[in-house]
Amino acid sequence: MPFIILYLQSLGYSGAQVGLLAGLIPLVNMLGAPFWTRLADTKHCHKLIMGIAILGTIVFATMFPFFSEFSLVLIISVLYAVFLSPVIPLADSATMAMLASEKARYGRVRLGGTIGWGLMAPIAGLIIEAYGIKFAFWGFSAVMFLAFIVSQRFSYSVGVSQTPNTAGFRDFLANRRWGLFLILVFITGAGLASINSYLFPYMEELGISRSTMGLALFISTVGELPVLFFAHHLLKRFGMYGLLVMGVIITGVRLLLYAWLNFAAGILVFQLMNGMTYPMIWVAGVAYADENAPAGMKATAQGLLGAMMWGIGAATGGFTGGLLIGSVGGRWMYLIFGIVVLVSVVVITWLYHAESDRKVRSVN
């Protein structure tokens, strides 16, 4: 997936066109994830929707390398994003359901994704450097078919008798602390999108080889392992929201460091910080969404989390990053994103605690 931007650039698209496609995929995810997950909660057909989503993703990912005309790639990107959007929220919802009373150990289950990513990253880099970037799409599709087979063994929490109602959904969204939580993950998603979408173009801008890009992915994965393994201890020590804020702050610092030390060794070292950014944020976010979801809306809550972080947040980061890297370069792009993330987390955390204090005073 990180090679998609390089593929689009290889087709000769402008910075604005690349930014549009990079922003469009998560924007569609923002709309698709809540729609699919709410449908799954309402109809109790989680496994069916998961299967359809993965198979649809495979179909359109396979089609990518056969087209170069911008309008056709745009259409394929939208359809690819529509089907991909519910996969991670439904997987997280199933994980939390199957963990039952051991939900704090979500991080240890999530280790599977990290190990898979880490094993494939250097292999993908070598294969793509040797045989061409089109193999990224075909390799992705092959592994996703294995994911389809495994996903059909998942079980979901469907024991709630009532069907989620529109009024309850509106009340859920009207909760101010939940709203601030979603704003924070939106901003975080934008910051992380600048890493996920543009770290490789930034490295190519610096003259770094594609095999080194694969190594960078591997190093970022190694940094995740201890954080995910001890995630349940971190949740107990700092709490869900506290751990989230810590991860966002470290993300902002990481962005600034990319701008400061813009050479291969510096980037590879700071890839180790990935363990204290995305994994901490996602573990805390999944736990917060599950804990604060009304009855019958567990998958819906995960869909909203994914939509704000990997939907509108990533869309904003993808589109803005495309414009910035095309106009002022990667170094200034990371500097701007880092400052925005750090300022935002301070303001939102202050508002969150102010709202919590107001709640306490109203009860008393």
For 211-227, the DSSP string reads HHHHHHHHHHHHHHHHH
Residue 325 within any structural domain of the chain: yes
Tens digits of per-residue pLDDT, 194-208?
A: 888 888 888 888 888
- Tell me how far CA of residue 203 lies from CA of 91, 212, 274, 317, in angstroms: 32, 9, 16, 18
CATH no. for residue 247? 1.20.1250.20
- Identify whether the C-beta of residue 20 lies closer than 8 Å to the C-beta of residue 73: no
What gap in Å lies between CA 89 and CA 185, rounded to an integer? 15
Q: Give the per-residue pLDDT at 360.
A: 67
Residue 163 within any structural domain of the chain: no
Q: Which of 35, 58, 36 is nearest to 49 (CA)?
A: 36
Q: Give the per-residue pLDDT at 171.
A: 66
Residue 314 within any structural domain of the chain: yes
**Averaged pLDDT, 307-319:** 83
Considering 35-44, 185-194, 291-300, the range whose residues carry the highest mean pLDDT is 185-194
Tens digits of per-residue pLDDT, 22-46?
A: 778 777 877 888 889 888 888 888 9
Q: Give the per-residue pLDDT at 71.
A: 92
Would you say residue 363 has pLDDT above 70?
no
Q: Which of 351, 335, 354, 225 is nearest to 278 (CA)?
A: 225
Q: Which of 62, 49, 125, 146 is nearest to 88 (CA)?
A: 49
Tens digits of per-residue pLDDT, 144-188?
A: 999 999 999 998 875 544 445 555 566 666 778 888 999 999 999
Would you say residue 291 has pLDDT above 50?
yes
Q: Give the per-residue pLDDT at 167.
A: 57
Q: Give the per-residue pLDDT at 188.
A: 92
**DSSP 3-state of 28:** helix
What gap in Å lies between CA 337 and CA 342, rounded to an integer? 9
pTM of the model: 0.70
Residue 344 within any structural domain of the chain: yes
Tens digits of per-residue pLDDT, 39-68?
A: 888 888 899 999 999 999 999 999 988 988
Question: What are the backbone angles phi and psi of residue 160, rounded to the nearest 5°?
Answer: -75, 130
**Averaged pLDDT, 298-305:** 81
Segments forming the whole domain that contains residue 270: 4-154+172-363
For 141-184, the DSSP string reads HHHHHHHHHHHTT--------SPP-HHHHHHHHH-HHHHHHHHH
Would you say residue 246 has pLDDT above 90?
yes
**Averaged pLDDT, 246-271:** 86
Max CA pair span of the chain: 67
Would you say residue 227 has pLDDT above 90?
no
- Tell me how far CA of residue 204 lies from CA of 1, 13, 155, 210, 282, in angstroms: 16, 16, 43, 8, 28
- Identify whether the C-beta of residue 243 lies closer than 8 Å to the C-beta of residue 106: no
Q: How confident is the model at residue 131 (pLDDT cuts 50, 70, 90)?
A: confident
Query: Please, how many CA atoms are within 13 Å of residue 282, restricted to the half-sphere of its CB?
Result: 26
Q: Which of 43, 346, 323 is nearest to 193 (CA)?
A: 323
Domain count, the chain: 1
* Tokens at 112, concatenated: 């599977």
Q: Output 59 or 102, whichever has higher pLDDT.
A: 59
Average pLDDT, the chain: 85
Q: How confident is the model at residue 242 (pLDDT cuts 50, 70, 90)?
A: very high
Tens digits of per-residue pLDDT, 319-353?
A: 888 888 888 888 899 999 999 999 999 999 999 88
- Tell me how far CA of residue 24 lies from CA of 134, 144, 185, 322, 340, in angstroms: 21, 22, 18, 12, 21
Query: Please, how many CA atoms are within 13 Å of residue 168, restricted to the half-sphere of its CB?
Result: 15
Residue 167 within any structural domain of the chain: no
Residue 110 within any structural domain of the chain: yes
